[in-house]
Chain A
Amino acid sequence: MTLTRRTLTRRIAIAAIAALILAPGAGVPRVAAQSPPPIKVGFSSAMTGPSAITGEGVKWAAQMLADEYNAKGGIMGRKIELYFGDNAGTPGEAVSAVRKLVDVDKVDVIIGQTHSGACLGALPIVKELAVPMVIEACSNPKIRELIGKTVNEWAFRVNPDDVMLANQFAKYMSRQAKTVSIFAQNDDFGRGAATAYDAAFKKVGIKLVSTEFFDRGQADYRPVLTRVKRAAPEGVLLVMLASEGSVFMRQFRELGLTQKLFARGSMATQEFLFQVKDTPAIADGLVEATYWTPALDPEWDKRWLERWKVPVRVHGSLAAIAFRYAVAPAIEQAIKKTGRADRKAIRDALEEIDIPNTPVGRIKFDETHQAFINMLIVEIKGGQLRLVETIPIQP
Chain B
Amino acid sequence: MEDLLELAIHGLTLGALYAMVAAGLALMFGVVRLINFAHGEFYMLGGYAFWYAYRELGLPYPVAGLAATGILSAFGWAYEHTVIRTILARTWHVQLIATLATSITLTNLAILVFGTQPKEVPTALSSTILEVGGVRLAWQRLVVLGAAILIFAGLEWFVARSKMGKAMRAMSQNREACAVVGVDVQQVALATFAISAALAAAAAVLVSPLFNIFPDVGALLTLKAFAAVITGGFGYVRGAIAASFLIGITESLAAGYLSYAFKDAIAFVVMVIVLLVRPQGLFGRRIGI
Contacts and interface: CB of A to CB of B under 8 A. Distances in A.
B261 A223 contact: no
Contact of A243 (B118, B137, B210, B253): B118
A185 to B, nearest CB: 11
Interface in B236-289: 252-253, 255-256, 260-261, 263-264
A186 B263 CA distance: 12
A220 B108 CA distance: 23
A213 B261 contact: yes
Contacts of B126: 250
Interface stretch (A72-80, A269-277, A378-386): A269-277
A310 interface: yes
Interface stretch (B23-31, B151-159, B171-179, B215-223): B215-223
B212 A213 contact: no
Nearest to B128: A254
B215 A52 contact: yes
B256 A223 contact: yes
Interface string A214-249: 110101101110110110000000000001001100
Contacts of A52: 111, 116, 215-216
B260 A212 contact: yes
Contacts of A222: 6-7, 10, 252
A392 interface: no
Interface in B190-241: 210-212, 214-217, 219-220
A122 interface: no
Contacts of B60: none
B115 interface: yes
A229 B10 CA distance: 15
A278 B111 contact: no
A63 interface: no
Give the residue among A219, A246, A250, A256 with the most B Cβ atoms within 10 A. A219
A226 B118 contact: no
Nearest to A251: B210
Contacts of A212: 260-261
The main secondary structure of chain A at its interface with chain B is helix
B117 interface: yes
Contacts of A271: 117
B19 to A, nearest CB: 15
Contacts of A230: 3
A50 B117 contact: no
Contacts of A223: 7, 10, 252-253, 255-256, 260, 263
B111 A48 contact: yes
A37 interface: no
Contact of B129 (A48, A49, A256, A274): A256
A246 B118 contact: yes
Contacts, number: 98
Nearest to B121: A278
B256 to A, nearest CB: 4
The number of chain A residues touching the other chain, given as a range, is 35 or more
Nearest to A219: B211
A281 interface: no
Contacts of A256: 129, 131, 136
B170 interface: no
Contacts of A227: 256, 260
A50 B212 CA distance: 12
B261 A50 contact: no
B137 A275 contact: no
Interface string A176-206: 0000000000100000000000000000000
Contacts of B220: 217
A194 to B, nearest CB: 11
B207 to A, nearest CB: 8
Given A254-B137, A254-B138, A220 B14 contact: yes
A274 B117 contact: yes
A88 B136 CA distance: 37
Contact of B256 (A226, A243, A250): A226
B7 A226 contact: yes
A338 interface: no
Contact of A247 (B117, B211, B253): B211
A49 B122 contact: no
A223 to B, nearest CB: 3
A254 B136 contact: yes
Interface of B: 3, 6-7, 10, 14, 107-108, 111, 115-118, 120, 122, 126-127, 129, 131, 136-138, 210-212, 214-217, 219-220, 252-253, 255-256, 260-261, 263-264
21 contacts: A52-B215, A53-B116, A56-B116, A212-B260, A213-B260, A217-B216, A219-B210, A222-B10, A223-B253, A226-B6, A227-B260, A229-B3, A230-B3, A243-B118, A246-B118, A247-B118, A247-B212, A256-B131, A275-B118, A275-B120, A279-B127
